[in-house]
Amino acid sequence: MASANWPEKKTWSYLRDRIDRVDGPVKATGAARYSYDVNRPGMLYAKVLYSQHASAKINGIDLSGAKSMKGVKATWRDEDLIGSEVQYAGQMLAAVAAVTEELAQEAVKQIKVDYEVKKPQVIDDDPEYADDRASRREEGNLEEALKGAEVVSEGEYGLPVVTHCCMESHGQVAEVKDGELHLWPSTQNVSRYADQMGEQVGIPGNKTHVNTQYMGGGFGSKFSHDKWGIVGAILAKQSGRPVKLMLDRDMELMAAGNRPSAYSKVKVGVKKDGTITAMDEEVWGTGGPANYRPPPFPYVFTGVENWRQVGRRIRTNRGGQRAWRAPNHPQGCLITMAAIDDAAAALGMDALDFFRHNTQLTERPDVYREELDVAADMIGYRQKAHPRGDKTPGPVKRGLGISMHQWGGLGHPSECDLTIHPDGSVECKIGTQDLGTGTRTVINIVVAETLGLALEDIEVKIGKSAYPQSGASGGSTTVGGVSASSRLAATSALNALLDVVASELGVSANELEARYGHIRVKGDPTKAVSWKEACSMLGPSPINKKGVNDRAESREKGLIDGGVGGVQMADVSVDTETGIVTINEMVGVQDCGLVIDLKTAESQVYGAMIMGITYSLFEEAVYDRTTGSMLNADMEFYRLAGLQDVGDLRVHMMGGEKYAKRGVIGLGEPPVISPGAAISNAVANACGVRVPYLPLTPERVTDALEKGGMSV
Amino acid sequence: MKPFEYAAPNTLEEAIGLLGEKWGEAEVLAGGTDLVTALKQGIMEPDRLVSLKNLTSLQQVELREGTLHIGAMAPLAAVSENSTAQEHFPSLVQAIEGIGSRQIIVHGTVGGDLCQRPRCWYFRSGYGLFGQHDGESLVLNGDNRFHAIFGNEGPAYFVHPSSLGPALIALDATLIAVGPKGKERTIGAGDFFKTPQNEDERETVLRPDEVVTEIRVPLHGLKNATYEVRHRQGFDWPYVTATVAFQERGGTASDGRVVLGHVAPVPWHSEKASQSLNGQALNEPTAKECGQAAIVGAKPLSGNRYKVQLTKTAVKRAVLSAAGIEQEA
Ligand SMILES: Cc1cc2nc3c(=O)[nH]c(=O)nc-3n(C[C@H](O)[C@H](O)[C@H](O)COP(=O)(O)OP(=O)(O)OC[C@H]3O[C@@H](n4cnc5c(N)ncnc54)[C@H](O)[C@@H]3O)c2cc1C
């Protein structure tokens, strides 16, 4: 019997190898069809009318102008909103489906909305605007600890609201055919995308079919069908024709989710030897009209004995927050890591020594110490390090910064259906989705590894709700979920095959193994049959097995686990005459247990670091305080980093028995957490002053230099 | 986007005949890198576009009798790759090389760069050229981090987006504009730009029925350079540019010109900074002083004080670069 446990390293064929993503060629050539690319015969185009005002009562929405236009086939308005209020500019009011995109756009302009405009509130960084009720959490005796500290440092740290800015906006193509609803959405949640749609569209769930083969990014913003998903389906039903409804970029940035802001005042007390003894935080920020949960504090250094957090929500007329790649961690990380870095500087202790010393206050001291050492070697920390403030002459200062982060990443519930056909072909179905992370590739590797076959011998089918249920891709849970379910399914199918082959060969199934395209007797490769031959012994009926990832069981078996640490370091230059920050080099050292594909794993980390550099240097949702409208709801002023902006990035995935034996752990989120803190700390190390808030733009950097008496 | 009529005439005369008497009736279409965006944003809604793409004679870049003649329809790349420009007008080449992305440099034209509309995010969001709401300036009360620090008495607070304008002014360039009946005007680059006082005015002295046909840059032997302060490397505008030009003899400057970009509703010729160079030895202190002189009279708005510091630095670095002095990193 083959065991479902991960094989020993010496027998790995694909695991931890550098394998190209299997769908790379179709993506690179444009053959891959994203939701945006799906075109159905007779399809209509839907356009959305959104609120121009951030705060207003809607007295009426008059669709007659749009309805009377030739070519307009269906309309919708939000009945519930009439007589009530919009919460933010960009909120959906109505929609039109027409025979061309241009016509739909024109028709939307004909819709008349009777607004009673109110004064909006979009300011999110001034605690004066916060709710009166604060949340409080504390442990130990803060006052005492601060009094007893060798050094108490104080600082302000913060990050603005940023959006997900997925390359493909939200939306779907919907079609009603023979009473059944077919959807091609851009979603992170194929299996359950349509769960609550049925009732609102009037088509039951068992007649709803979701198909997402390729999608252009979600980052936590695409779990739900959203109102526009329902509306698209309603328009399709109304018109009897397929309808494509994809958000335009402006509405995407205003309405389709964002990362809440966090601004803080922090005090840190440390002992002479560098041990952190006290941390005190006041934090405020906005999630739009939605709730606000203060970010984790103290972050990573959860063993700090005395601490307090007072959190306040600022309610704003801005689009509501959604999970943004590692929800709340980038905020928590920046605030804690920058505050303790300032404490190290105040104490006059080298930052690396300081972080290393305080790993005792974390949940994974060994892992962090190892990672700090690896990262330090990679970036040449000991050679380059200097105390805060680069004292070399000239306006351009250079500095290093460190950050540490943590994440869970335990695989989600997932089911896999695996078939071995008598002709030797193998088919693997999972109702999961590939967000661009390499999910398809990972499943392919796991099944090929388990069956001893080549990658191209396996057909991986994902992205349909008709396939066995698999969790939404959030919380870095996908790789664990699908690798466990596919490993379990493939193992059990293989065992069924081994039984058949064993009786044909007159050996016990326990003596057999699947390797190099053969079923063979362990230790005696001469006694072997080819995979095809073996499968032909099945007669007419294929083997079909299910693999179910039960999280607790899989964890026990060592198939998957949760809980990782990572370290990043940045080497930056700051032009103190212009405030321009340049990334010279950045290293990411990450643990994710057993690495299935080193290449796609590293790519995840590279991508996360680029996303992190983007929010560190450029990104921010800017709102006008008078009108409440978003001023940069486009790709011009909503700035993202380009290749020339990211510097030299290097990644190291922790490996070896100690890490691999924990099984597979998720990776999507952890590496996006640290860049803000690593870069902010590097800037402080370079120019000698802390720039309180991200992004580190010329205006913020020059302002901090001036206030710190460092301007030139 | 509002539907429009599209014309691609074969002669200049025909093209001019198709333009309107008032702004907004018809627009000249060159490379379209700005205009098409503006159409999509709904901030320009002409009834007709008059494409100049068939007027191939307007695409030439030629050295004749000590003057570089640049056709208004010449792609930006045709200038930055021109050997005369590279040798004599580094400030112009640098201004082009800084622009957005390779695609824009290849597709955008010189005439289009000079006539492009402001990037002000209030303007681009549909609040009009001056960014007003209920008769009040949203810019003054709102987020003006990218707005003007000079010439900002209002109602215009935007910055002129052209980086080529300052270079052409510093290099004594002239523009040729042709109107109805072939009527030709020669306009000094410095006189071409103007600060509109009404929403329906434009940012240049061009008339609605005129086409810019050519830009002439004389070889006056000026040392020159442009320095940009640019945050994001790809696909973006600079925060500030400074073009500096002067005659140099024996390490001393005369006939100085300092023209700033992206700091005022027009390319901003700094008299004081220009004069500060004259008779001075070209060295770091002179460059620094020139930078200081350039910011005299700056009136930052609530959120763009940092641009004063950036301007000072850009000017200093442009002077050093024009003088061929290596700067300390
Ligand atoms: C991402 C990005 C970054 C950029 N960065 C910079 C930068 O750093 N510095 C900079 O200077 N520019 C920058 N630009 C602007 C770019 O240089 C201009 O978009 C381009 O030069 C316009 O040329 P075009 O031929 O495409 O003009 P079009 O878009 O065709 O026209 C622009 C305007 O000029 C008018 N026009 C064009 N030609 C004539 C003519 N011959 N006579 C009369 N009117 C005419 C048109 O009617 C229209 O109003 C950037 C643009 C983008 C998109």
Mutate to test the pocket of ligand 1, among B6, B18, B35 (most ligand atoms within 8 A of CB): B35
- Are A196 and A320 part of one and the same domain? no
Q: What is the pLDDT of residue A712?
A: 59
Task: Answer whether residue A402 is part of any domain.
Answer: yes
**Type of residue at A616:** S
Contact A450, A490 (CB under 8 A): yes
Q: How far is CA B104 from CA A667, B79, B236, B261, in A?
A: 37, 13, 11, 19
Sequence-distant (≥ 6) Cβ neighbours of residue A545 within 8 angstroms: A417, A418, A419, A489, A490, A492, A493, A496
Using a 6 Å cutoff on CB, does residue B300 contact ligand 1?
no
Task: Select from A520, A536, A557 the last residue of a domain.
Answer: A557
- Are A454 and A353 part of one and the same domain? no
CA distance A244 to A33: 14
Residues of chain A with pLDDT under 70: 711-712
**C-alpha B108 – ligand 1 centre gap (Å):** 6
Q: Which residues of A touch B (CB under 8 A)?
A: 102, 105, 393-396, 577-580, 617-618, 622-627, 629, 631-634, 636-637, 639, 641-645, 697-699, 702-703, 706, 711
- Are A573 and A651 part of one and the same domain? yes
CA distance A152 to A271: 9
- Are A586 and A641 part of one and the same domain? yes
Q: Which of A579, A626, A643 sits opposite B138 (nearest CB)?
A: A626
Domain span including residue A543: 9-32+411-557
Q: What is the pLDDT of residue A234?
A: 98
**Helix and strand counts by DSSP (H, E) for chain A:** 19, 28
- Are A25 and A40 part of one and the same domain? no
Which residue, B268, B235, B256, B240, is CA-closest to B99?
A: B235
- The nearest CA of chain B is from the CA of A498 a distance in Å of 57
- Are A605 and A497 part of one and the same domain? no
CATH number of the domain to which A197 belongs: 3.90.1170.50
Chain A residues in contact with B311 by the CB 8 A cut-off are: none
Q: Which of B121, B235, B329 sits opposite A642 (nearest CB)?
A: B235
Which residue, A461, A385, A393, A391, is CA-closest to A426?
A: A461
CA distance A166 to A184: 17
Q: In what order do the strands lie in the sheet with A396-407?
A: A396-407, A564-575, A580-590, A648-653
Task: Answer whether residue A398 is part of any domain.
Answer: yes
Provide mean pLDDT across the span B158-187. 98
Which H/E stretch holds residue A555?
helix A551-557
Which residue, A476, A466, A467, is CA-closest to A442?
A: A476
Which H/E stretch holds residue A100?
none
H-helix segments, A221-313: 226-239, 249-255
Contact B142 A698 (CB under 8 A): no
Task: Select from A246, A279, A303 the last residue of a domain.
Answer: A246
How many contacts, defined by CB atoms under 8 Å, are there between A and B? 90
H-helix segments, A263-361: 329-347, 351-357
Provide mean pLDDT across the span B153-157. 97
Q: What is the pLDDT of residue A445?
A: 98
Contact B169, B183 (CB under 8 A): no
Which token pair is A296? Answer: 């984790």
- The nearest CA of chain B is from the CA of A701 a distance in Å of 9
Q: In what order do the strands lie in the sheet with B48-51?
A: B5-7, B48-51, B26-29
Complex ipTM value: 0.96
Q: Which chain A residue is nearest to residue B328, measuring alpha carbons?
A: A394
Cis omega before residue A298 (within 30°)?
yes
Write the pLDDT tens digit of every residue in B14-30.
999 999 999 999 999 99
Q: What is the pLDDT of residue A290?
A: 85
Q: Which of B142, B234, B328 sits opposite A642 (nearest CB)?
A: B234
**Type of residue at B182:** G
Task: Answer whether residue A145 is part of any domain.
Answer: no
Task: Answer whether residue A365 is part of any domain.
Answer: yes
Which residue, B104, B88, B36, is CA-closest to B96?
A: B104
Angle formed at CA B28 by CA B23 and CA B33, multiple of 5 degrees: 115
- Are A28 and A51 part of one and the same domain? no
Sequence-distant (≥ 6) Cβ neighbours of residue B227 within 8 angstroms: B94, B241, B242, B244, B314, B315, B317, B318, B321
CA distance B222 to B169: 12
Provide mean pLDDT across the span B129-146. 97
Which H/E stretch holds residue A184?
strand A180-185
Using a 6 Å cutoff on CB, does residue B75 contact ligand 1?
no
- Are A486 and A616 part of one and the same domain? no
Using a 6 Å cutoff on CB, does residue B72 contact ligand 1?
yes
Which token pair is B275? Answer: 């004069």
- Are A432 and A377 part of one and the same domain? no
The distance from CA A516 to its chain's CA centroid, rounded to whole angstroms, is 36
Using a 6 Å cutoff on CB, does residue B212 contact ligand 1?
yes
Task: Answer whether residue A582 is part of any domain.
Answer: yes
Which residue, A473, A494, A476, is CA-closest to A431?
A: A473
Contact B303 A703 (CB under 8 A): no
Provide mean pLDDT across the span B57-63. 97
SS3 A685: helix
H-helix segments, A385-477: 439-451
pTM more than 0.90: yes
Task: Answer whether residue A570 is part of any domain.
Answer: yes
Chain B residues in contact with A627 by the CB 8 A cut-off are: 127, 133, 138
CATH number of the domain to which A587 belongs: 3.30.365.10
- Are A377 and A417 part of one and the same domain? no
Cβ-based burial of A459 (10 A; exposed 0-12, middle 13-18, buried ≥19)? middle
Provide mean pLDDT across the span B285-299. 98
Contact B58, B213 (CB under 8 A): yes
Task: Answer whether residue A160 is part of any domain.
Answer: no
Total domain count, chain A: 3
Using a 6 Å cutoff on CB, does residue B149 contact ligand 1?
no
Over the range B224-259, which residues count as b (16 or more CB within 10 Å of their CB) and which as e? bbbbbbbbbeebbbbbbbbbbbbbbeeeebeebbbb
- Are A589 and A633 part of one and the same domain? yes
A157: β partners: A264
Q: Quickly state the pLDDT bin for B329 (edges 50, 70, 90).
A: low
Using a 6 Å cutoff on CB, does residue B108 contact ligand 1?
yes
**C-alpha B102 – ligand 1 centre gap (Å):** 14
Which token pair is A322? Answer: 């959604």
Task: Answer whether residue A130 is part of any domain.
Answer: no
Chain B residues in contact with A578 by the CB 8 A cut-off are: 229, 309-310, 313-314
- Are A83 and A198 part of one and the same domain? yes
CA gyration radius, chain B: 19
Q: In the 3-class helix/strand/coil scheme, how is chain B assigned residue by residue?
A: CCCCEEECCCCHHHHHHCCCCCECCEEEECCCCCHHHHHHHCCCCCCEEEECCCCHHHHCEEEECCEEEEECCCEHHHHHCCHHHHHHCHHHHHHHHCCCCHHHHHHCEHHHHHHCCCCCHHHHCCCCCCCEECCEEHHHHCCCCCCCCCCCCCCCCCCCCCCHHHHHHHCCCEEEEECHHHCEEEEEHHHHECCCCCCCCCCECCCCCCEEEEEEEECCCCEEEEEEECCCCCCCCCCEEEEEEEEEECCEEEEEEEEEECCCCCCEECHHHHHHHCCCECCHHHHHHHHHHHCCCCCCCCCCCHHHHHHHHHHHHHHHHHCCCCCCC
